Structure 1
Amino acid sequence: MRALSRVGVVDVGSNSVRLVVFDGAARSPAYFYNEKIMCALGAGLPETGKLNPRGRARALAAIRRFQLLARDMDILPLTAVATAAVRDAEDGPEFCAEVLQQTGLELFVIDGQEEARLTSQGVLLGWPTANGLVCDIGGSSMELAEVAEGQVGRCITSELGPLKLSNIKGGKRGLKKHIDAALEEMFRQIPVQKQRLFLVGGSWRAIARRTGISASRMTLVPTACEVLKRLIRKFKPREIAVSSYGIREGMLYEQMPQTLRDRDPLIEACRHAEDKDARWPGFGSKLYKFISPLFKGANADRKRLIRAACLLHDVTWRAHPDYRAEVCFDNATRANLGGLRHRERVFLGLALLHRYKSTPGSSRFEPLIGLLSEREVRDAQTVGKAMRFGAMLTLDSVHDQAELRYFPKKKQLHLRLSDKATGLFGEVAEARFQSLANTLGAEVEIKKLRRKG
């Protein structure tokens, strides 16, 4: 599953300097270490043409610390990039030389198009089927790129970063006019409307978060809001997604072989969780094969979620029994799982909750469950109860010991049991099977399993 050991990435941006250590180049990476320093390296750059002196000193100190941490974690060499502030500043080359001299770390100063490409690859890391526009806002620039069918298309850059816009003359009217002119030029180069818009960058995430924004970030948010409002007006996206994946994840994606890129990030993350935390790693795939006959009519997206649920069905066994179901739900809705929409997270969480409980119980889940249709709620309940039964029946290859057959039109649920499974079909297993049948509204039939040949 993992092609590389831990990978360390340093991102020297206009507003922040960050070290991220990924726990191997997995298709859905775990964040082993993450540290950010808000240096405001690009503050005052439009007026002076140079990096902010105080920010420069703080950035250098941060990079020095990151290099020492990386040495302690045995992840050298680090991969480091610098973006708009360093590439635009007169003293950018001098800063890079100073970093190299004091830390031994070479900063790769990338242009705007490369920044857009790497950021878009970060989006593809988490959402391989992404189609639309990726918009990355930093302190000194804003990039736009097309993504479709796992590939990055046209990439462009602009000077619409909040720090860069701080010196625009003419007050609010002048600022709005300047933003509109820049967006018009971007639209001329990528004339795409009514696509999904993927927003990347700390300022976009702060707007989406609404609360708990740091004071240093808050100074940029009003200008970022103005840019976003006018961006939406110009490109008219049909849907907006805020991505936590960006340039740093794109740098990781860059190092992956194509065979790893082609894997599903959700399934890979669930497999890793099962290998690490489940009592019987590998049982999830067997469980999925066993319950699959119940969902023959499901589309590929639904089957993908069912498969993910089966892989995760046992990873929270260490939680206290009174709270295990709730922990399952929280893990699915809050864990670092790529390639999921909000409602898909809720479906996955609800299925796992029903793997341990017959009813949701806690009212705190109701607002999230409200994202699902009645049919989706019922399907999640069916998945959960099917897992609950299959996991109880046997710890062996359940699909070899028993077989489910479901006839939705006849409302019949048949269970075929091997000799061994017949002995395992005790009172608790029988009760769980009946509960599954009740959820399906089906009559049950239980017979001995007869293998062909």
Structure 2
Amino acid sequence: MAVIDIGSNSVRLVVYEGLTRNLSPLFNEKTLCGLGREVQTTGLLAADAVEKALSSLRRFRALCRIMKVGRIYAIATAACRDASNGADFIARAEQIAGAPIEILSGRREARLSALGVISGVFKPDGIVGDLGGGSLELVEVHGRRVGTGRTLPLGGLALQDNAQKSLKKAERIVRDGLSEVPFLQQGRARNFYAVGGTWRALARIHIIQSGYPLRVMHGYTIPAAEALDFARRLRRLAAAGMLADIETVADARRPLLTYAALVLEHIIQIARPKAIVFSTYGVREGLLFEKLPAAERTQDGLIADAQSMNRLYSRSPGHADELASWCDQLFRAAGLKESVEERRLRHAACLLSDIGWRAHPDHRGEQSMSMILNGHFGAVSHQERALIALAIYYRYAGLNPVNEAPADVRALVTAHMLERARLFGAIFRVAHLISAAQPGVLSATRFRSRGRKLELVVAPKAAELAADRVASRFKQLAKLIGRSGAVVRG
């Protein structure tokens, strides 16, 4: 299955394994065509941009053929809906792409952007802003509820065109445009979800300049005050001609960084959000999320992604579900408290607890941690991603301070979350040692609490598995929760 996204700046093809809750991209390619660079002043798609876009579509059609894509969904956004020659271009594009192309209205584009954020962020609350080349879509989200969206001609190419490359004119256009969106005032102390390639380019620069340990764009979060200072600093650098050599940003995007920073700056000043959260889930993901059966749309995106990795990489995928139930029993027996959100992260960690078994024993911890820190996960913040990664690191590397996890990763989580990660790792070390990651073993054990003593009771049929190493690890686990521990037969 594939999506062709004809935007005002780029034309993109993304091929997915199938229509599921956890979308797995098999192939992703874009061409920066600049279809919308003259639409505001001439009313037309530029002739050279049209030919470049059609050439890209020919390649995309060929790629879909050799990859045996069964269904192509094609969409077009602001430039094509606003240009007087947009319909002619779409007619030619449909013949080349071999699929009907839906020209999204501004309101529908805003809704799909919101659905994309809903699919990729756990319980989002705030305002989604999708900045493309031709337009800015704004829409309020709360959980799974989507407000009525607004579209404004504030995309980078449109601003550059309308303002005739004058930042003073662009600032006036942005200020006037955003004043027409009353629900921006509802963003106070909530999140602003930034969608779109140029805003992601801003985030990439911030990540590099701040020395942040992860390179994952989705879920990257900047406090609003810091983001405001950063946007202003970028504008000053642009005015001084100091953005031309930023190698991390494509040449065609660099001139648009200033306009993206300008729009973000004014949104922060008006909406006063608590944080800017960058989302790589947007219109394309929202389009596919909308097509899922209702029951699948309600699934937890993190758990769906973790289940997929469990099936791909674990020795016995069924063991992970047993492990989650086993952990539930331990938490009840030991009287350990956790929130609904913490329990969800624990279950995700259970699903990922055996993904590193093929690596060399000396590197299983590091490799598993890297797979999780940099993996294609949705519905998880960077902090939560780090907690899960640390838990699996400790599961393999142990809890000896000599093998402590990297400091920059530990710095991503709170002290409480680090304790949880160590606890999860200790639990997994007991479970996988006693069961060899095979299903049907953990069910032969149970937990019993006797005062300050926690016991792991092993049924007679599994008694031979309760060796000294299991007892040693269980005592270590019990110590973490302030108990003494023992393995008993019963």
**TM-score with structure 1 length normalisation?**
0.93
Cα 1:103–1:298 shift into 2, 3 Å: closer
Amino acid at match of 2:432: A
Is the CA contact 2:318–2:439 (under 8 Å) kept in the aligned structure 1? Answer: no
Cα 1:171–1:34 shift into 2, 3 Å: closer
List alignment gaps of at least 5 residues for structure 1: 1-6
Output the CA distance in 2 between the equivalents of 1:346 and 1:235: 29
- In the other structure, the counterpart of 2:19 is 25
- In the other structure, the counterpart of 1:345 is 385
Output the CA distance in 2 between the equivalents of 1:125 and 1:192: 22
Residue 329 of structure 2, aligned match among 271, 279, 293: 293
Output the CA distance in 2 between the equivalents of 1:385 and 1:126: 30
- In the other structure, the counterpart of 2:180 is 185
Cα 1:316–1:305 shift into 2, 3 Å: same
Residue 390 of structure 1, aligned match among 428, 431, 442: 431
Q: Find the residue that maps to 2:33 and give its secondary structure.
A: coil
Amino acid at match of 1:146: E
Note if 1:333 corresponds to 2:376: no
Output the CA distance in 1 between the equivalents of 2:103 and 2:174: 26
Q: Find the residue that maps to 2:278 and give its secondary structure.
A: strand
Q: Find the residue that maps to 1:118 and give its secondary structure.
A: helix
- In the other structure, the counterpart of 2:356 is 316
Alignment deviations for residues 140-196 of structure 1 (CA, whole Å, 9 cap, x no partner):
10000111231211111001111111131693332212211111112x255413121
- In the other structure, the counterpart of 1:242 is 278
Q: Find the residue that maps to 2:186 and give its secondary structure.
A: coil
Output the CA distance in 1 between the equivalents of 2:403 and 2:395: 15
Output the CA distance in 2 between the equivalents of 1:254 and 1:298: 33
Amino acid at match of 1:390: A
Output the CA distance in 2 between the equivalents of 1:346 and 1:412: 31
Worse-matched range after superposition: 266-275 or 8-17: 266-275
Amino acid at match of 1:171: S
Q: Find the residue that maps to 1:323 and give its secondary structure.
A: helix
Residue 446 of structure 2, aligned match among 403, 407, 427: 403
Output the CA distance in 1 between the equivalents of 2:192 and 2:441: 43
Q: Number of aligned residue pairs: give it.
A: 440
- In the other structure, the counterpart of 1:208 is 203
Output the CA distance in 1 between the equivalents of 2:474 and 2:371: 26
- In the other structure, the counterpart of 2:306 is 270
Alignment deviations for residues 42-78 of structure 1 (CA, whole Å, 9 cap, x no partner):
1122222111222111110111111121122222431
- In the other structure, the counterpart of 2:458 is 417
Q: Find the residue that maps to 2:15 and give its secondary structure.
A: strand
Is the CA contact 1:133–1:144 (under 8 Å) kept in the aligned structure 2? Answer: yes
Is the CA contact 1:287–1:398 (under 8 Å) kept in the aligned structure 2? Answer: no
Worse-matched range after superposition: 311-320 or 164-173: 164-173
Output the CA distance in 1 between the equivalents of 2:471 and 2:377: 34
- In the other structure, the counterpart of 1:446 is 487
Cα 1:367–1:128 shift into 2, 3 Å: closer
Output the CA distance in 1 between the equivalents of 2:463 and 2:43: 79
Q: How does 1:128-139 map to 2 (within 5 A)?
A: 128-139=122-133
User: Displacement of 1:21 after TM fit?
Assistant: 1.2
- In the other structure, the counterpart of 2:347 is 307
- In the other structure, the counterpart of 2:73 is 79
Cα 1:388–1:170 shift into 2, 3 Å: closer
- In the other structure, the counterpart of 1:174 is 169
Q: Find the residue that maps to 2:149 and give its secondary structure.
A: strand
Amino acid at match of 1:246: G
Amino acid at match of 1:336: H
User: Displacement of 1:239 after TM fit?
Assistant: 2.0
User: Displacement of 1:362 after TM fit?
Assistant: 6.8
Is the CA contact 1:294–1:406 (under 8 Å) kept in the aligned structure 2? Answer: no
Output the CA distance in 2 between the equivalents of 1:170 and 1:399: 66
Alignment deviations for residues 250-279 of structure 1 (CA, whole Å, 9 cap, x no partner):
111121000110111111111111112211
Q: Percent of counterpart pairs with the same letter? A: 33
User: Displacement of 1:441 after TM fit?
Assistant: 3.4
Output the CA distance in 1 between the equivalents of 2:17 and 2:165: 48
Output the CA distance in 1 between the equivalents of 2:403 and 2:197: 33
Cα 1:102–1:399 shift into 2, 3 Å: closer
**TM-score with structure 2 length normalisation?**
0.86
Residue 154 of structure 1, aligned match among 126, 148, 172: 148
Alignment deviations for residues 317-372 of structure 1 (CA, whole Å, 9 cap, x no partner):
11121111011111121111111111101110111011111247678821221122
Alignment deviations for residues 84-130 of structure 1 (CA, whole Å, 9 cap, x no partner):
01111111011011112334332211111110011111111112521
Worse-matched range after superposition: 376-385 or 122-131: 122-131
Output the CA distance in 2 between the equivalents of 1:336 and 1:8: 18
Q: Find the residue that maps to 1:220 and give its secondary structure.
A: helix
Is the CA contact 1:291–1:404 (under 8 Å) kept in the aligned structure 2? Answer: no
Worse-matched range after superposition: 276-285 or 352-361: 352-361
Cα 1:273–1:375 shift into 2, 3 Å: same
Amino acid at match of 1:197: F
Output the CA distance in 1 between the equivalents of 2:352 and 2:115: 27
- In the other structure, the counterpart of 2:54 is 60
- In the other structure, the counterpart of 2:477 is 436
Alignment deviations for residues 223-257 of structure 1 (CA, whole Å, 9 cap, x no partner):
11011001110111122210010111011112100
Is the CA contact 1:128–1:150 (under 8 Å) kept in the aligned structure 2? Answer: no
Q: Find the residue that maps to 1:413 and give its secondary structure.
A: strand
Output the CA distance in 2 between the equivalents of 1:361 and 1:223: 49
Amino acid at match of 2:475: Q
Cα 1:445–1:318 shift into 2, 3 Å: closer
Cα 1:380–1:224 shift into 2, 3 Å: same
Q: Find the residue that maps to 1:209 and give its secondary structure.
A: helix
List alignment gaps of at least 5 residues for structure 2: 209-247
Q: How does 1:33-112 map to 2 (within 5 A)?
A: 33-112=27-106
Note if 1:12 corresponds to 2:17: no
Is the CA contact 2:61–2:96 (under 8 Å) kept in the aligned structure 1? Answer: no
Alignment deviations for residues 292-319 of structure 1 (CA, whole Å, 9 cap, x no partner):
2343411111111111111111122111
User: Displacement of 1:136 after TM fit?
Assistant: 0.2
Output the CA distance in 1 between the equivalents of 2:275 and 2:156: 24
Is the CA contact 1:347–1:376 (under 8 Å) kept in the aligned structure 2? Answer: yes
Cα 1:420–1:339 shift into 2, 3 Å: same
